[in-house]
Structure 1
Amino acid sequence: MKLHRVLPAAALAALCLLPGWGTAQQPTQPTLRPATQMTPANVPPQTAVFKPADSAGVWVPRTITFADLGFTEPVVLGYPDTIKEIYLPVPPGVNLNGASLQLDGSYVRADGGRTSLVYTIDNAPVQAFGYTADRGDASVQLPIDGRPRPSGYIKLNIDWRTAVARENTCADARTPGNILRIEPSSRFVFQYDGSAVRDLTTAWGALPPNPVIQIPSNNVSPEVYDTAWRVGVALERAGKRPRIRTADGSGTAPAPVQPVAPGAPPVTASNEPDIIIAGPGSNQQIGSKQIGLANVGNRPVIVVAPDAGPQAAGIFSQIWTQVAAGPTLTVNAVDTPKNTDSNAVSLQYLGAKPTSFDVLAHADWNASFDIGSVAADGKGPGTLVIDVAAAPSAARTPPVVSVFMNDVLLGAKEMEANGKRERIVAPVPRYALQTRNVIRVSFVRQLASDRCRETPEPYPVSVLASSHMLLDKIDPSSDFTGLMSKFSDGGTLLVPQSHLADASGTLPRVIRLAAGTGLSPSKAKFQPVAQGSNPKVSGPYLAVDVIPDGYAEGVKPEQDRLFLAGTKDRPLLDVRGLNRVGILEVTGSGNDIGAVYRTLGQQPPEMNKPIQLSGGNLAVMGNNGLRTEVNTRDPSGQGAMKEAQPGLFERGYWWLMPIILVALFVGLLVFASRMRRRKAMSGDR
C-alpha cells in the first residue's frame, strides 16, 4: 500500500476522533439540574414513601380546630411548663393529602435570653425558630406528611425554651416572663383517602369531632328515634359532639361556624352525613339488625338499621370497636364482659393504657372511664390503687407522685425511685364522682441538683398494669351519683310522642341528658309517652318533658317560672321571666329512683357543652350546659362531711389503744384472781 494513499485516510479519521478525545480529557463538570419547585406549606412532601397512591379515590376534606379537641382556652407555655404534646386525630391507617397545621400564636419576652421554639411531628423536628423581640406574632403553618397512621393520631410536640447567660451554675435561670400563647382557632386541615375506608372500625375512627347523624325526616318512627339517641350517646362517650340533620332538609339546623383567628375567613363545619339511620323515607336501606358501610357523595358513611340501635351502641363501645372489622355486620348480641371479681376492677378493663415516659420536671398520665362501667350490683368506685415505678435520678430530692380524680387530690407520696413497684392507695370520696371521670397521675421531679454540680436530665417513670380500683358498697341515695350507679344495669328513657314529630329539634337535648346522667345506650329501654299521660315506671328512669306516675315534684315550673318549695310560709326560690333554661331533678328512692327534665320558657336550652353531674339532686341547664347543681335535701353538705369525718386514729387518739389494752389486761387479772378465791373458798367448805 502506498503511503500517499494511507495518510489522507488516517488524517480524516483523526479529525473525526478529536472532539470525543478532547471531551474525555477535560475534567468532569457537575451536571446542572433545573431548580426544584418548593412544596407549598399546605402540601405534604411527595416522596417515594409518602406519595399518595395513584389509585386513591376521592379525597375527603377535614378541618379540625383546637376548640374541637377541647382546648376552649389558649394553650400557654412558660416556665416551668415549656413543653406541650397535642394529639391530632386522623383516620387510622389511611393515606392523607394536603395536610397542614395552622397555628395561630403570639409571644411575649420580658426576661430576654436566647428563646427558641421547636415543633416536632411524630418525634421528627419540622420547624425551629429563634425570637429576640419583646413581643410578636408566632403563627406558623406546619406541613405534615401523608403517610398512614395506624394509631389514628399525629403527635405534635411544642418546645418553647429560653437559655439565659449565667455567671455561675447556681444563678437563677428561670424565665417566667417569656410566654407563648396558641389560640383555640388553630386548625388542622387535611384530606383522607375515602376509598381506603373499608371496614366499620376505620369508619368509626374517621368520624370528625362533630359528626352528623342523618335521620329520614323530622317526623320519625319510634324505632328511628330510639336508634338515633343510642348512637348519639355512643358518640358522646367517644368524646364527640353529634349533630342531627334530616334527609329531606326539614328541621335541619345550619352548620356551626368554627372559631378562626381575627381577619381569617370563617370556616363552616360540613353538613354532610357521617352516620345514616335507615328507615322509611331514607335513601339508604340495610337489613334488620345490621350496621353497614356505604358510599354517599364519594364519602364513607356508616348506615345503621332502625332496629339496630342497641347493637350499634354496643359494638362501637370502647371494648368492642376493633371487632367491627367488616363492611357490613349483623350483630345478634353484644354486651360488656362481666367482672368475675365484684370487689375490684383493673384500670386496663376501663380502657386505661399503662405506659412509661420520661419526666424532667412535671408530667401527667391520664385515663377516663364512665361511672356505668364500674357501678354494678350496688357497688361503685371506693379506692384507687395506683402502682408506679421510677428510676433514680442524679438529684437527691425524691420525685413526688400525686393521684387526682376529676381534679380532686386523692393521695400523694414521696417516691423511693429505685426502679421497683410503689403503691399509692387513695380512697375515692363520693363527691368526686361524675358521669365521666378522669384519673390523673402526676409526677413531679425537683430540677435543682445538689450544690448545682449536676445538670437536670429526664428520667423514666411507669404506671404499671397492676393498677386497679376497689369497689365499695354505695348506699342508695336520691342524687345524681346514686342514679348513675342504677343506670349501669339498664333503665328507661321516657319522651313524649310529640318529640318524634320534631326529631331534629329534640334529639340533641335527649342525647345530652342521657349522656350526662349515665344512661346506658345499649341496655336502656325506650318508651314514647302519649301527650298528657303519666306512665308507671319500674326501676331507674330518665323522663324528658314527661311526668311519671307518683312523681313527687319538689320543683314546680310554670312556663317561665321556677318555684322551689321551702318552709310552709316561705318558698326556697320563686323566679319568673326565665327562657332557654331547663330543670333536671332526681326523685324517688331505692330501685325506683329517676330524673325528670322540664323546659322553662318558650325555647329550650341548646346545651352546647357536655353535662357533668355529681352529688346534687337538682340541676339547672342553660345554653352552655350545666349552669348550677344543688342538693336541696342536704344543702349544707352534711353527707360529704360525714364521709370525710376522720376516724379514731386519724384524730390523733391512737394513744388510747395501749391504755385500753392495759385496762383490759388488768381487768382479766382481777377477774381471774376473784375466780381463784371463789374456788378456794368453796374447797375449804
Structure 2
Amino acid sequence: MKSIPAGALSALAWGASLFVLAPNLTLAADSPLTQAIARLNSDLRQDREIRLAELGIKAPIILGSTDARRELYLPVPAGVPLLDASLKFDASYLNGEGGRNTLLLSLDGYPVRAQGLNEAQGDASVSLGVDKAPRDSGSVRLGVAWSSIVSRDLCEDERVIGNVLRIEPDTRLQYSYDAGQLRDIGAAWNALPGKPGVLVAPGSLSAQSYDAVWRLGVALERIGKQAQILPLRAVGDQLDLSALNIPAALRNVPAFASLAGQGRYTLKTPAEVGALLVLGQTPNVQADLAIDDAQLLKAINLALDALQAEVQSLDGQAAAALTQWRQRHIGAGLGALGKNEARLALVGARPMLLIAPDATVKAMSLFNSAWNKLARNRQLTIAEAQLPLSEDGRLALSRLGGSPGGLQVLAKSDWSATFPLGNVAYDGRLPVKAVVDLASSPGASSTAPVASVFLNDYLIGAAQLVSDGHKQRIEARIPAYALGSRNVLRVSFQRQPVSNRCLETPQAFPVTVLPTSHIVLKDSTPGSDFAGMAARFAKNSQILVPQAWLEQPASSLPTLIKIADAAGISPLRAQLKVQADGKAAVAPDQTFLAFELPIKDSDAAVQVDDQGRLLINHKQQRLLDLQQLDGMAALQVVTSGGQQGLVYRTLGSHAPQFDESLLLTRGNASILGSEGVLSTFDTHDPSGSQLIDADEPRGLEAWRQPSLLWLIPGALLLLVVILLAGRRARRQRQ
C-alpha cells in the first residue's frame, strides 16, 4: 500500500475543516438584518397571564368555619409544557376569634405550601412555582384549604365568624409556552383567556365578516368570556410603544427605526404597520381569534408589502428571509381556508384560531358542545355540527352545564347549572318544572339534611332528604316570573354538624346529584317581557343594524354582542340585516332585535333622543320626563305589524360602554349604563299587580264579595235574639 504524502495529508485536513465549518461560515455570511429576521422566524415563545377576575370571579372569595375548601381552575393550553410558570396567590386573613388558623395550598392535588396565620389580621399572599409538566386537562388546579380551631370549646363552626380567609380576584397564573407545540383546535379554544382578542380588518367591515364576528362574540359570552374587537392598526392610529423592544439590527430599516424609543406614537406609513405585525409585541395584534376575511388579508399584505420594499432596498438576503417569514406566519393561515374550515395557525408570532366566515355557526356548535373533545387537529373541515333536539319535552341538566356527581357536605354546599333560555326554548317550549334527583348518605345526626332548589335565587322547591343512599326526587314548578334570558338553577344542601359534646370532630358526608335530573318543557305562549322575548329569540329571528355600525366595528360590535347575549338571541339561528338608511322606519317581518333604528308603528312606552330626554308612559299616563341625560341607553319590548321584538336606542350623544355582561330581570324595559342595568320595569304593569295570582282578592273588592264566613256571626246573633225573645215570653206568661 502506498503512503500518502505529507503535503496531501495537510491539504485533506484543511478541506475537511472547511467542510465542518461550512455551516458556520454560511451563518457568518448572513447579514445582521437577515439573522435578526431569522430569529423572529424561530421565536414562538408566548407569555400569558390569567387572573381570577378574567374568569368571572369579580369579588373576593371568603372562606371561614372549621374546614373550608375551594378549588380554582386556571386554563392553560392542553398538552403543552409550561415555561417559567408561577402562581401569585393574593389573599389576606382576619383572626377575630383568637384561634389557630392554617392555610394549605395545593397544585393539581399535590400540597405545596402550609402556613399558620395566627395574628389578629395579616397578609396571606404567597408565590408558588408551577412545574412545567403538560396538563392534559387544560387547566392548573389550585386547591385552597382553610382550617380554624378556637382555643375554647365551641363545637358549631357557624359561631366562629371572625376567622376568615379572603382570596382576591387578583390571584393570577403567569406562564410561557412554545406556540409551535400547540397542535389542537379544541385545546386552543378551551385555553382562551378571559378576554380573548378578535382581529378584524381596519375600517368598515363587510356584512359577512360583521355577521360572523357578532356570532363568535355571543358564543364567547355564553362560556363566560368577553370578546375584545381589535381592528388591525392603520396609518393615523395612535398607540403606546413604550414597551416595544426592537433588536438593534432591525433598526436599520426605516419602519422599525421610527417605532424605536417611542411612547405615544401615531403611525405614519403602511410599512410601520407591517413592522408591528412582524414584531408581534403590541396589543393591536395580540388577538386570539380571527375570521378568515379577504379584507383582513388584503390589509395585512399591503402593510407587509411596504415593509418588504424597505428591506429589499437595504438587503436582498434579508428580504428573502422576510418572504420566508410571511409564508410561514401569514400565508399558511389567512386566506388558505376552505368554505367549511377552521385552523389553528400563526399570524405574526401569535397562535390564532382562524374560522372561515361560512363555517362560523358550525364551529360554534362544535366548540361549545360535547363535540369539542373531537377537535383534535390543527385544521378541521366542519361540514355539519348540530345539537340533538329534545323530542319528549325533557332536557337533562347535564346538557345545561351541570355536571352530575357527588359533593362532600359538612354544613352547606351548592350545586348549580347555568343555561340561556334560548338553549332550551328553541322550538317554542318553555321550562315549567325542574326535576332534581338526589341521593345522600346517613350522617351522625338524626336531623335530616335539607335540599333547596333555587332558580335565579327564587326558592321553587325544597325537601328533607331520606339519607339512605337511594334516589329521592324533588319536583318544583317553575313560575314565569323566575325565568330570565340567562338562568341559574342551584341546589343548596344543608346538614347539621354533630360533634357529640365536642368529643368528635364534625365530618362531611356525601350527597349526589344524579344524571336523571332534568327540566320539563311545555308548549306555552311567551309573554311580552324579556323572558318571553328570549323564548321567541330561540327560534328564527333577525338582528337589524344601520350601515353606520359596520363602519365602526370596534365600538358597535361590543354593544351588539352584549345586548344579543342578554336578550337570549341564538347565534345559530338569527339573521343579520343591514339597513342602508338609518333614518327610515323599518317594518320587521319576524321577531327582531333592532339597534338605533326607528320601528314602523311601534308601541314604544319608553322614548329617548340624542338630546338626552327620557320619557316613560303607561297608557295615557306619563310616568317620567327627564332631560339632559347622557351615556345611557334604553332597551324595550315593542310590537310592530304583529311582530314583537326589542329595540335598543342610545340616550344622549354618547353610548354606554358595557364592561360586564348584562342581566335582564323581569320586565319589558330597561335603562342601561356603562356599569350595567340601571333600572328594569314593566310598562304594562308598573305596579306589579299581575304577579299576584288571579284568584287572590283585589283591594277593596274583597270587602264587597260575599263570603260564608259572614254567616257564622250572623247565626250566633240570631240565636241570641231567639233566646232573649223566648225568655221575655216566659216572663210575660208568669
Whether the TM-score (by the shorter chain) exceeds 0.5 is: yes
AA aligned opposite 1:165: S
The answer on whether the counterparts of 2:604 and 2:637 sit within 8 Å (CA) in structure 1 is no
Check if 1:272 corresponds to 2:247.
no
By how many angstroms is 1:169 displaced? Answer: 7.9
By how many angstroms is 1:350 displaced? Answer: 2.2
Out of 179, 187, 192, the position equivalent to 1:194 is 179
Check if 1:362 corresponds to 2:348.
no
AA aligned opposite 2:412: H
Distance in 1, matches of 2:399 and 2:125, equals 41
Aligned to 1:135: 121
Distance 1:637 1:326, change over 3 A: same
Distance 1:622 1:250, change over 3 A: farther
Worse-superposed segment, 589-598 or 609-618: 589-598
Alignment of 1:48-67 (within 5 A): 58-67=44-53
Aligned to 1:563: 615
Distance in 2, matches of 1:594 and 1:251, equals 40
Distance in 1, matches of 2:58 and 2:528, equals 33
Out of 385, 396, 399, the position equivalent to 1:334 is 385
Distance 1:173 1:74, change over 3 A: closer
By how many angstroms is 1:599 displaced? Answer: 0.7
Q: Which string of whole-angstrom CA distances, capped at 9 and with x for unpartnered residues, describes residues 12-65 of structure 1?
A: xxxxxxxxxxxxxxxxxxxxxxxxxxxxxxxxxxxxxxxxxxxx9833211122
Q: Secondary structure at the match of 2:137?
A: coil
Aligned to 2:722: none
The answer on whether the counterparts of 2:363 and 2:385 sit within 8 Å (CA) in structure 1 is no
Aligned to 2:151: 165
Distance in 2, matches of 1:460 and 1:107, equals 29
Check if 1:554 corresponds to 2:568.
no
Q: Which string of whole-angstrom CA distances, capped at 9 and with x for unpartnered residues, describes residues 122-177 of structure 1?
A: 221111111232122211112222222222232222222222234x6869894321
Aligned to 2:450: 400
AA aligned opposite 2:203: N
Distance in 2, matches of 1:620 and 1:81, equals 43
The answer on whether the counterparts of 1:348 and 1:354 sit within 8 Å (CA) in structure 2 is yes
Q: Secondary structure at the match of 2:586?
A: coil
AA aligned opposite 1:627: L
Distance in 2, matches of 1:500 and 1:382, equals 40
| Higher-helix-fraction structure | 2
Out of 498, 507, 510, the position equivalent to 2:548 is 498
Distance in 2, matches of 1:322 and 1:158, equals 29
AA aligned opposite 1:565: N
Check if 1:597 corresponds to 2:583.
no
Q: Secondary structure at the match of 1:507?
A: helix
Distance in 2, matches of 1:312 and 1:399, equals 44
Distance in 1, matches of 2:296 and 2:111, equals 48
AA aligned opposite 2:646: A
Aligned to 2:682: 631
Distance 1:423 1:323, change over 3 A: same
Aligned to 1:524: 574
Distance in 2, matches of 1:312 and 1:581, equals 34
The answer on whether the counterparts of 2:155 and 2:499 sit within 8 Å (CA) in structure 1 is no
Check if 1:146 corresponds to 2:160.
no
Worse-superposed segment, 586-595 or 298-307: 586-595
Distance in 1, matches of 2:293 and 2:118, equals 62
Out of 481, 488, 498, the position equivalent to 1:448 is 498
AA aligned opposite 2:168: E
The answer on whether the counterparts of 2:66 and 2:149 sit within 8 Å (CA) in structure 1 is no
Out of 451, 455, 465, the position equivalent to 1:415 is 465
Out of 217, 220, 235, the position equivalent to 2:205 is 220
Check if 1:236 corresponds to 2:286.
no
Check if 1:462 corresponds to 2:520.
no
The answer on whether the counterparts of 1:581 and 1:622 sit within 8 Å (CA) in structure 2 is yes
By how many angstroms is 1:318 displaced? Answer: 2.5
Q: Which string of whole-angstrom CA distances, capped at 9 and with x for unpartnered residues, describes residues 325-373 of structure 1?
A: 33223333333211121x2111122232111132222222121111111
Aligned to 1:295: 346
Out of 406, 428, 438, the position equivalent to 2:488 is 438
Distance 1:102 1:250, change over 3 A: farther
The answer on whether the counterparts of 1:375 and 1:381 sit within 8 Å (CA) in structure 2 is yes
Q: Secondary structure at the match of 2:357?
A: coil
Distance in 1, matches of 2:61 and 2:596, equals 40
Check if 1:108 corresponds to 2:94.
yes
Worse-superposed segment, 144-153 or 627-636: 144-153
Provide the aligned length of Structure 1 versus Structure 2. 577
Q: Secondary structure at the match of 1:556?
A: strand
By how many angstroms is 1:580 displaced? Answer: 1.2
By how many angstroms is 1:482 displaced? Answer: 0.8
Distance in 1, matches of 2:198 and 2:601, equals 36
AA aligned opposite 1:230: R
Check if 1:245 corresponds to 2:230.
yes
Worse-superposed segment, 394-403 or 215-224: 394-403
Q: Which string of whole-angstrom CA distances, capped at 9 and with x for unpartnered residues, describes residues 487-543 of structure 1?
A: 111210100011111111111101111111111111111100012223332221100
RMSD: 2.6
Distance in 2, matches of 1:242 and 1:514, equals 13
Alignment of 1:336-351 (within 5 A): 336-341=387-392, 343-351=393-401
Distance in 2, matches of 1:345 and 1:590, equals 34
Distance 1:460 1:251, change over 3 A: farther
* TM-score where L is the length of structure 1: 0.79
The answer on whether the counterparts of 2:430 and 2:523 sit within 8 Å (CA) in structure 1 is yes
By how many angstroms is 1:446 displaced? Answer: 1.1
By how many angstroms is 1:450 displaced? Answer: 4.6
AA aligned opposite 2:414: D
Distance 1:595 1:252, change over 3 A: farther
Distance in 2, matches of 1:644 and 1:206, equals 53
By how many angstroms is 1:555 displaced? Answer: 2.1
Check if 1:183 corresponds to 2:168.
yes
Q: Percent identity?
A: 38
By how many angstroms is 1:218 displaced? Answer: 2.5
Distance in 2, matches of 1:173 and 1:626, equals 35
Q: For structure 1, list consecutive stretches of 5 or more residues without a partner in the other structure.
A: 1-55, 256-267, 647-655, 657-685
Out of 665, 689, 692, the position equivalent to 1:614 is 665
Aligned to 2:367: 316
By how many angstroms is 1:552 displaced? Answer: 2.5
Worse-superposed segment, 486-495 or 64-73: 64-73
By how many angstroms is 1:303 displaced? Answer: 1.1
Check if 1:541 corresponds to 2:592.
yes
By how many angstroms is 1:252 displaced? Answer: 8.1
Distance in 2, matches of 1:92 and 1:442, equals 33
Q: Secondary structure at the match of 1:608?
A: coil
Distance in 2, matches of 1:544 and 1:320, equals 34
Q: Which string of whole-angstrom CA distances, capped at 9 and with x for unpartnered residues, describes residues 559-586 of structure 1?
A: 1111122464x52111111111111110
Check if 1:388 corresponds to 2:425.
no
By how many angstroms is 1:211 displaced? Answer: 0.4
* TM-score where L is the length of structure 2: 0.74
Check if 1:121 corresponds to 2:107.
yes
Distance in 2, matches of 1:229 and 1:106, equals 40
By how many angstroms is 1:253 displaced? Answer: 9.8
Distance in 1, matches of 2:505 and 2:92, equals 30
